[in-house]
A and B are shown apart, each in its own frame.
Chain A
């Protein structure tokens, strides 16, 4: 553990955004926004520097307070964390720029919402802290930081619908974190450590471990809005302000997924069973079908996009069954695990870029029209070609058509599904694609139709449209470094050595 290179960067990645958030509190509307934006850009820059540092030197660690685990807390920036931090920085920087113009444009009508900036910086710090943390209890604190700031952002508009949705979101989030913490209590009780690495070595199968796996998985599934705990997500994401919706769907739900992924592979490796994997996969498949179908049935743009998140998060759950093979089954090829991993990472990135672009586009449309009813989107392609292009590209990525990031994710997912011999997941993936095409083109087809009635289109700053388009493009561009990225991720401990424990766990099949 201690032979890894130490670096101050992990600590700065958490400290800097909080410092800037604190600083911004001393300013009023304009100043808050300015300090906030500068803070966001600095954090993004720092994240990219840290990413580059990891590619150069490998996994970086920072031993907080100078106390080695198990007594102290370790920050660990391995390739997986670096990828998530880099993604957060890219999406976050774009959304920050969008937010700057978005709130400026609505300043005169009381839509400046300066508290967005400190809350978003806190959220960012929480996310970075989460990706870096190697300590189960510290992870709890970071998900609380994320949870409170995310709900506060969700209710920023102060509209009644947002308040109701926010309260539901908050109650679900508290319940989820409490369930997670219950699991942490049992893990600590049975091993006397909270450090992920040490836990992975010390943990033995038994009722306490199984129960911890159960409550931790359930708690994190609630916070990731996994089926059947997705009820809070569509109202919360659809009623928030555009930049906030983008943040919530692109980044916030990914945080808890990240913990789930880490814990399943690095902590629970030995105690996983085939049945546990199948159950969580089933939830994922159900989310894909149900969420897509719900998205297809909505009449408001933002609700379509929000329900689509439920479906897209379902794909993330579908990689868990692939981590555990059925008893007696040998994989068709050695790289099935790497396929499953890449599928997960790509789905996270593609969804982050595409969904944020979609929500930002929806924000642009609301700004122009004053509402987001789908049947009013006639003539949009003539009025706002850039936005239609952004929605089209983002939609293509959500459907998973080539050569988008979503395609890469689905390709890898299907490959993992076939290689692990679990072909029964394939229909859900394909049905999800078809339904996604359904809801995406339900929006786009009207964009090409001529205007039916007179509608007033208020002007929208071009910068906003540009940001949305760039994010959509990014969901395609992430495909190009795939080869490099897979190698980078494979250099991670989690990618390589986790494999054997998982195979053993699956092979035992003592459920």
Chain B
């Protein structure tokens, strides 16, 4: 069908091979290690851009390897996948910079950066998977490659968090596995986008298909942190800030959310899913998670924990959008993949900067921090406004489209959920801004790191500024061609045309 190309493989290799090479280096070869890492990251961004351009021209890239009868390893570039791949590769580049600065002088950096690379390999693999089985392979690979990162510090706290993380994700993976095998047996090998197969089975096996849908949804829901499967996310906060960024913005939760979009639109197809009434439960669950996460966030004093519950809440916008039938809401869901990513990564970078520079980990300690770290907190403020949904920042766009889509589909209650969530967002984020900008500092504080003339180390500062500006730009320039919104819109339209 498509021309075989090794470009998708190269995109994976651009992070996988540096990861392997880093493992063979010595711990003290930090310059070479950083070079390999950055080289890989830049190469990945360039390759994705190249493929992006090619796809725009209408070219198709695919790679197929037959493992066993009816079991193929398939990479295929489509717009949705490329959208996610672009997000991961750009944010990986930024996060790599940040991580190099953050971990300077730390222990076991060889291991860290190797698995960091594997993690992104898994995320791009998920993005470029052409069929369910390949998706599953990378989905599990992601679990394994993040585990060493979560337990990186090696403290009892981290090790226990790692255990919780594993129980949730391996459990989810197992359930997903069951669903995938079941689907495979029922419908044969499923390639993304070929929804005719399922559609033809709906009348014959509605019960089995419904069971399998919810099995797979449960498996994906763990990583997407849908209530009640979200428990691992706040606990994994013990990981270093770049890892949190990776978990919350780039790879893990996104893999889950992306998987749900794939499941609904590219495996079952919106018609079949609607026919079997699969989407209403998903919508209700997602709406509940949005409110639940926000309420939980209200009560957290730990900075990163509040951000984590905020992630739980924000992420379910994607599930919600996917569950409402209509181009507009789907556009909102897809664009939120990117928007939530850049906003949330900004927040985690900011939280990391504060913690690394002054050692503040609690919100109650943040009085006056805005004056000491104006750039960091400035970026953070942009992200907060975006999360609340103020125009013209990225988050507004997502919510606007979700709301429009809901009204279009006649689900007016969703608008109420969105409004309630925005109010709650404001309720738990604005106090942080108030403390940061308007409260007097409690006491004198000296930066723990050598910062030079800047407010913090330069490698920590650049990423947060970039992602903050990106959050702004994604909203401001949303109407332009090539913006995330326009691409998301195009993808959504194609999904509905099929």
Which B-chain residue is minimally distant from A413 (CB atoms)? B181
A434 touches B111 (CB 8 A): no
**Does A430 lie within 8 Å of B177, measured CB to CB?**
yes
In the complex, which residue of chain B has the Cβ closest to the Cβ of A426? B178
- Which chain A residue shows the least CB distance to B148? A448
Provide the bound-state CA to CA distance between A419 and B66, in Å.
21
**Inter-subunit contact A414/B178 (CB<8 Å):** yes
Task: Say whether A445 contacts B162, CB under 8 Å.
Answer: yes
Q: Determine the chain A residues whose CB is within 8 A of the CB of B140 once the complex forms.
A: 401-402
Looking at B163-171, B267-275, B302-310, B347-355, the stretch in contact with chain A turns out to be: B163-171
Taking A430-B174, A449-B156 as given, write out 7 further A-B residue pairs in contact, using a Cβ cutoff of 8 Å, ordered by the A residue number. Answer: A401-B140, A411-B71, A418-B186, A433-B174, A441-B166, A450-B155, A486-B69
Among A419, A437, A448, find the residue whose CB has the most chain B CB atoms closer than 10 A.
A448
With A434-B170, A483-B67, A483-B68 as given contacts, are A381 and B178 in contact (CB-CB < 8 Å)?
Answer: no
The residues in B between 181 and 206 inclusive whose CB is less than 8 angstroms from any CB of A are 181-182, 184-186
CA distance A408 to B69 in the complex (A): 12
Task: Check A434–B68 contact: CB distance below 8 A.
Answer: no
**How far does the alpha carbon of A411 sit from the alpha carbon of B69 in the complex, in Å?**
12
Question: In the bound complex, how far is the Cα of B65 from the Cα of A403, in angstroms?
Answer: 13
Alpha-carbon gap, A448 to B159, bound state (A): 8
**Residues in chain B near residue A338, CB distance under 8 A:** 69
Chain A neighbourhood of B107, CB < 8 A: 382
Interface string of A287-302 (1 = CB under 8 A from B): 0000000000000000
Tell me the B101-145 residues at the A interface (CB within 8 Å). 107-108, 111, 136-137, 140-141, 143-144
B151 within 8 A of A: yes
Q: Does B154 contact A (CB under 8 A)?
A: yes
Partner pick for A385 among B69, B111, B177, CB 8 A cutoff: B111
A449 to B159, CA, bound (A): 7
With the chains together, A414 CA to B177 CA distance in Å?
9
**A interface vs B, CB < 8 Å?**
332-333, 335, 338, 342, 381-382, 385, 389, 392, 396, 399, 401-403, 408, 410-412, 414-415, 418-419, 426, 430, 433-434, 437, 441, 445-446, 448-450, 479-480, 482-483, 486
A residues in contact with B69, CB < 8 Å: 335, 338, 483, 486
A408: chain B residues within 8 A (beta carbon): 67-68
| A394 CB to nearest chain B CB (Å) | 13
A–B pairs, 12, beta carbons within 8 Å: A338-B69, A385-B23, A389-B23, A401-B144, A403-B141, A418-B182, A448-B152, A448-B154, A449-B156, A480-B67, A483-B67, A486-B69
The 7 closest A-B pairs by CB, nearest first: A402-B137, A418-B185, A482-B68, A414-B181, A437-B170, A449-B154, A401-B140
Please tell me if the beta carbons of B185 and A445 are within 8 angstroms of each other in the complex. no
> With the chains together, A8 CA to B67 CA distance in Å?
34
B173 interface residue per 8 A CB criterion: yes
Q: How large is the interface on B (under 10, 10 to 19, 20 to 34, 35 or more residues)?
A: 35 or more
Interface string of B68-83 (1 = CB under 8 A from A): 1101010000000000
Rounded to whole Å, the gap between the CB of A302 and the closest CB of chain B is 22
With CB as the reference atom, state the residue of chain A lying closest to B108.
A382
B residues less than 8 Å from A332 (CB atoms): 185
Asked whether A486 lies within 8 Å of B162 as measured between CB atoms, the reply is no
Contact present for A445 and B159 (CB under 8 Å): yes
Chain B residues lying within 8 Å of A483, measured Cβ to Cβ, are: 66-69
Contact A437 B71 (CB under 8 A): no
CA–CA, A465 and B66, complex, Å: 32
- Point out the residues of chain A lying under 8 angstroms from B111, CB to CB: 381, 385
Which of A415, A433, A434, A437 has a CB less than 8 Å from the CB of B185?
A415
Contacts known (A415-B184, A446-B159, A448-B159); A396 close to B178, Cβ less than 8 A? no
Residues of A within 8 A of B73 (CB): 403
Task: Report the bound CA distance from A293 to B185 in whole Å.
Answer: 30
Chain B residues positioned under 8 Å from A446 (CB to CB): 159
Chain A residues touching B, majority SS: helix
- The CA of A486 and the CA of B144, in the complex, are separated in Å by 28
A449 to B66, CA, bound (A): 40
Residues of B within 8 A of A401 (CB): 140-141, 143-144, 173
Nearest-Cβ distance from residue A352 to partner chain B, whole angstroms = 19
Q: Is the CB of A445 within 8 A of B151?
A: yes
Contacts of A403 in B (CB 8 A): 67, 73, 137, 141
Whether the pair A342, B171 counts as a contact (CB closer than 8 A) is no
Bound-complex Cα distance A486 to B107 (A): 46
Structural contact, A415 and B181, CB atoms closer than 8 A? yes
- In Å, the complex CA distance between A401 and B69 comes to 19
Inter-chain CA distance A389–B114, complex, in Å, is 12
Q: Would you give the shortest CB distance from A429 to chain B, in whole angstroms?
A: 9
Given the complex, which residues of B lie within 8 Å of A437, measured CB to CB? 166, 170
Q: How far is the CA of A403 from the CA of B74 in the complex (A)?
A: 13
Residues of chain B contacted by A448 (CB below 8 angstroms): 148, 151-152, 154, 159, 162
Residues of B within 8 A of A415 (CB): 181, 184-185
Tell me, rounded to whole Å, the shortest Cβ–Cβ distance linking A103 to chain B.
28
Most A CB atoms within 10 A — which of B66, B111, B140, B185?
B185
Scan residues 40-79 of chain B and give those whose CB is less than 8 A from a CB of chain A: 66-69, 71, 73
Q: How far is the CB of A386 from chain B (nearest CB, A)?
A: 9
Contact A441 B68 (CB under 8 A): no
State A342–B70 Cα separation when bound (angstroms): 13
B-chain residues with CB within 8 Å of residue A335 when the two chains form the complex = 69
Option from B66, B68, B170 in Cβ contact (under 8 Å) with A342:
B68
Task: List, in ascending order, chain A residues with CB within 8 A of B166's CB.
Answer: 437, 441
CA distance A434 to B170 in the complex (A): 7
Q: How far is the CA of A418 from the CA of B212 in the complex (A)?
A: 13
**CA distance in complex: A414, B184 (Å):** 10
Closest to B138 in A: A402
Nearest CB of chain B from residue A49's CB, rounded to whole Å:
26
Complex: A335 Cα to B189 Cα, angstroms = 14
Answer whether A418 and B181 are a contact pair too, CB < 8 Å, given A401-B140, A441-B163. yes
Contact with A along B408-420 (1 / 0, CB 8 A): 0000000000000
User: How long is the Cα–Cα vector from A437 to B173 in the complex, in angstroms?
Assistant: 11
A264 CB to nearest chain B CB (Å)? 23
Counting chain B CB atoms within 10 Å of each CB, which of A402, A408, A412 scores highest? A402
B175 contacts across to A, CB distance below 8 A: 430
Distance in angstroms between the alpha carbons of A419 and B187 in the assembled complex: 12
How distant is the Cα of A448 from the Cα of B161 in the complex, in angstroms? 13
- Kindly state the separation between the CA atoms of A129 and B154 in the bound complex, as whole angstroms: 50
| A430 adjacent to B178 (CB under 8 Å) | yes
Residues of chain A within 8 A (CB-CB) of B108 are: 381-382
A418: chain B residues at CB < 8 Å are 181-182, 185-186
Chain B contacts of A430 at CB under 8 A? 174-175, 177-178
Partner of B163, one of A414, A445, A486: A445
A480 and B170 alpha carbons, distance in the complex (Å): 24
Hey, which chain B residues are within 8 Å of A445, CB to CB? 151, 159, 162-163
Least distance between B103 CB and chain A CB atoms (Å): 15
Among the interface residues B137, B174, B175, which one has the most CB atoms of the partner chain A within 10 A?
B174
For B147, the chain A residues whose CB sits under 8 A away are 441
Name the distance in Å between A12's Cβ and chain B's nearest Cβ. Answer: 32
CB neighbours (8 Å) of A433 from chain B are 170, 174, 177
In the complex the two chains form, what is the Cα distance from A479 to B65 in whole Å? Answer: 12
Proximity bits, B347-368, A CB within 8 Å = 1, else 0: 0000000000000000000000
Q: Nearest A residue to B160 by beta-carbon distance?
A: A445
Which A residue sits closest to B152, measured CB to CB?
A448
Whether the pair B181, A411 counts as a contact (CB closer than 8 A) is: yes
Q: Within 8 Å CB of A482, what residues of B?
A: 67-68, 71
Residues of B within 8 A of A414 (CB): 177-178, 181
Measured CB to CB, the closest approach of chain B to A66, in angstroms, equals 41
Chain A residues contacting B184 (CB-CB under 8 Å) are 415
Docked Cα-Cα span, A401 to B107, in Å, equals 29
Instruction: Report the separation of the CA atoms of residues A142 and B156 in the bound assembly, to the nearest whole angstrom.
Output: 51
Instruction: Give complex CA distance A338, B182 in Å.
Output: 17
Give the docked Cα–Cα distance between A307 and B137 (Å). 27
B137 cross-chain contacts in A, Cβ below 8 A: 402-403
| The one of B154, B162, B173 that contacts A450, using a Cβ cutoff of 8 Å | B154
